[in-house]
Amino acid sequence: MYPLVTKLLILAVAAQVMLSIVLLLWLGRERVPRVMSGEIAAEDIAVDRTAYPLKARLLSNNFDNQFQLPVLFYVVALLALWSGGTNWVEVILAWLFVALRFGHTAIHVTTNRLDSRFAVFTAGLAVLGVLWLLVLLRILLS
């Protein structure tokens, strides 16, 4: 039986993964019909995305963004789980990071207001940095 904090950390990772999967499916709904109908020629998108409408480009950029900071989140979450002794502060920070990623995505694929998006991104980066620091300190000082 796993402790509740371990399960909650795993659920935070799963929520982040689900965000990526939902974005990929949404992106497919925006892209595939346009190519299949001939609206966009395959050779026009083989190298870059400029032939796609703005919504598809925003989704694509945000999907790509899920493999930047979130990768560092996955690593620290796995490190925390591997080391054992995950605590409530780490779980809260993990969920806060995931919530900020959802917020970043919401801004990115709707209004795409750069000031708001940057603020949420920066907050997520700060939370992730604190999470890394706490996990490392917990491991190194134990």
CB contact at 8 A, 8 and 95: yes
Reported as a pLDDT band with limits 50, 70 and 90, residue 107 is very high
- How many angstroms separate the CA atoms of 105 and 50, rounded? 20
Statement: the pTM of the whole predicted model exceeds 0.85:
yes
What integer is the mean pLDDT of 56-66?
97
pLDDT at 31: 95
Q: Which among 82, 84, 85, 94 is positioned nearest to 132, based on CA atoms?
A: 94
Q: Using one digit for the tens of pLDDT, what is the confidence trace for 1-60? A: 899 999 999 999 999 999 999 999 999 999 999 999 999 999 999 999 999 999 999 999
Question: For the chain, what is the mean pLDDT?
Answer: 97
Give the type of residue at 15.
A
Report the phi/psi class of residue 112: left, alpha or beta, with left for phi > 0 and alpha for psi in -120 to 50: left
Domain 4-140 has CATH 1.20.120.550: yes
